[in-house]
Homo-oligomer: A and B are copies of this chain.
Amino acid sequence: MSIHVRPLSLLALSLASALAHAADEPAAKHPSMADVIAASKPSDWRAIDPQNLLYVDFAGRSRVVIELAPAFAPKHVENIRALAREGWFDGLALVREQDNYVAQWGDPNGDDAAKAKKVKNAKATLDGEFARSDKDLAFTPLPDGDVYAPAVGFSGGFPVARDAKAGKAWLTHCYGMVGAGRGDTADSGNGGELYVVIGHSPRHLDRNVTLVGRVVQGVDQLSSFPRGTGALGFYEKPEQRTALTRARLAADVPANERVDLEALRTDTDTFKALVESRRTRHESWFLEATGKIELCNVPLVVREKKVPDTKK
Tell me if A5 and B189 are in contact (CB < 8 A). yes
Task: State the Cβ distance, A289 to closest chain B Cβ, in Å.
Answer: 9
Q: In the complex, A224→B220 CA distance in Å? A: 10
Q: Which of B183, B207, B219, B288 contacts A2 (CB 8 A)?
A: B183
How many A residues face the partner with a CB closer than 8 A? 89
Closest Cβ neighbor of A278 among chain B residues: B204
Q: Which of B5, B107, B206 contacts A183 (CB 8 A)?
A: B5
Closest Cβ neighbor of A193 among chain B residues: B5
Which residues of chain B are within 8 angstroms of A156 by Cβ–Cβ distance? none
State whether the Cβ of A290 lies closer than 8 Å to any Cβ in chain B: yes
Tell me if B231 and A14 are in contact (CB < 8 A). yes
Number of copies: 2
Tell me if A3 and B193 are in contact (CB < 8 A). yes
State whether the Cβ of A205 lies closer than 8 Å to any Cβ in chain B: yes
Tell me if B287 and A208 are in contact (CB < 8 A). yes
Encoded as 1 (CB less than 8 Å from any B CB) or 0, chain A from 237 to 274 comes to: 00000000000000000000000000000000000000
Closest Cβ neighbor of A5 among chain B residues: B181
> What is A's interface to B at a CB cutoff of 8 Å?
1-14, 17, 95-102, 104, 106-108, 110-111, 116, 124, 128, 130, 144-148, 174-176, 179-184, 186, 188-190, 192-193, 195, 199-209, 219-220, 223-227, 231-234, 278, 281, 284-288, 290, 292-294, 296-297
